[in-house]
Amino acid sequence: PPLYIITPTYRRPEQLAELTRLAHTLMLTPNVHWLVIEDAQRKTDLVTDLLERTGLSYDHLLAPMPEIYKKKKKGPKPRGVSNRNKGLNWIRQNAKNGVLYFADDDNTYDLQLFKEIRYTKQVSMFPVGLITKLGISSPIVRNGKFDGFYDGWIAGRKFPVDMAGFAVSVKFLLDRPKAGMPFKPGFEEDGFLKSLEPLEPYELELLAENCTKIWVWHTQAKRNEPSQPLDFAKYNNTNLVVLKH
């Protein structure tokens, strides 16, 4: 059964670098269908070209963030939510079995992760490295059993976990037609996992050797300070495409 990888992405200077790294990871993984979903009105040509060159099985979709959130000046925005809901709907219409995983474009993934989540029966969980001041987010496992969550931001959540820290069986999703992700910054993971009811934390399948290994890291690219652009034409380098915000 295939692994459906749902990747939200948006136009920015780092986009192609992030997607290239993830693409090359997925190219080393068998039986993957990659759903690359852009928060944009039109497909980005550089993304289309990359996807074509990978030889991967993929769909390149669009799901712009609704204007009401995009316009928001104060506070965090619900990043990647319309993209992920679009991916869930695609799965509802096109998939029968297998496993889905939300893979942000900027994280770093060990191939071992994909080997393990492929056998998810309902919902599996595992640690995520390099996240918050604590440096890790993970289910706590005691004597082989679930015994709570370790996370830098509990915030009253039933499932205080990161987007990269769980995988879901497609059948389990299909049995829950109302499941989806809320446009609620900080509570996207919790909202989605709660929408998979009935599901209790003690039922989670604990991977990564009882959550003692890190197979995914919440890496983030460091952005350079913007500066006056050089006049590329002057340097006879007119073919270089510079992505702007």
Residue 197 annotated to the active site: no
The strand pairing partners of 89, in sequence order, are none
Distances (CA, A) of 53 to 31, 110, 239: 17, 22, 19
Does 5 bind ligand UGA (CB under 6 A)? Our answer is no
Does 220 bind ligand UGA (CB under 6 A)? Our answer is yes
d(CA 147, CA 151): 13
Site mask, ligand UGA, residues 63-102, x = CB under 6 A?
--x-------------xx--x-------------------
Q: Between 153 and 232, name the residue whose CB sits nearer to ligand UGA.
A: 153
d(CA 155, CA 76): 16
Does 104 bind ligand UGA (CB under 6 A)? Our answer is yes
Does 9 bind ligand UGA (CB under 6 A)? Our answer is yes
Distances (CA, A) of 224 to 14, 44, 71, 228: 10, 22, 25, 12
- Are residues 204 and 123 in contact, defined by beta-carbon separation less than 8 angstroms? yes
Q: Between 75 and 229, name the residue whose CB sits nearer to ligand UGA.
A: 75
Q: Between 65 and 207, name the residue whose CB sits nearer to ligand UGA.
A: 65
Residue 116's binding partner among ligand UGA, Mn ion, none (Cβ under 5 to 8 angstroms by kind) is: none
Does 189 bind Mn ion (CB under 5 A)? Our answer is no
From first CA to last CA, the distance across the chain in angstroms is: 38
**Angle ∠(213,189,138) on CA atoms, nearest 5:** 20
Return the sign of the alpha-carbon dihedral for residues 10, 45, 41, 92: negative
- Are residues 170 and 177 in contact, defined by beta-carbon separation less than 8 angstroms? no
CB of 93 to Mn ion, least distance (A): 27
CB of 164 to Mn ion, least distance (A): 8
Q: Which residue in the list 18, 38, 116, 189 is annotated as catalytic? A: 189
* Binding to Mn ion, residues 101-120 (CB under 5 A): 104, 106
Residue 162's binding partner among Mn ion, ligand UGA, none (Cβ under 5 to 8 angstroms by kind) is: ligand UGA
Tell me which residues are annotated as active site: 189
**Contact set with ligand UGA (CB under 6 A):** 8-10, 39, 65, 79-80, 83, 104-106, 162-163, 185, 188, 218, 220
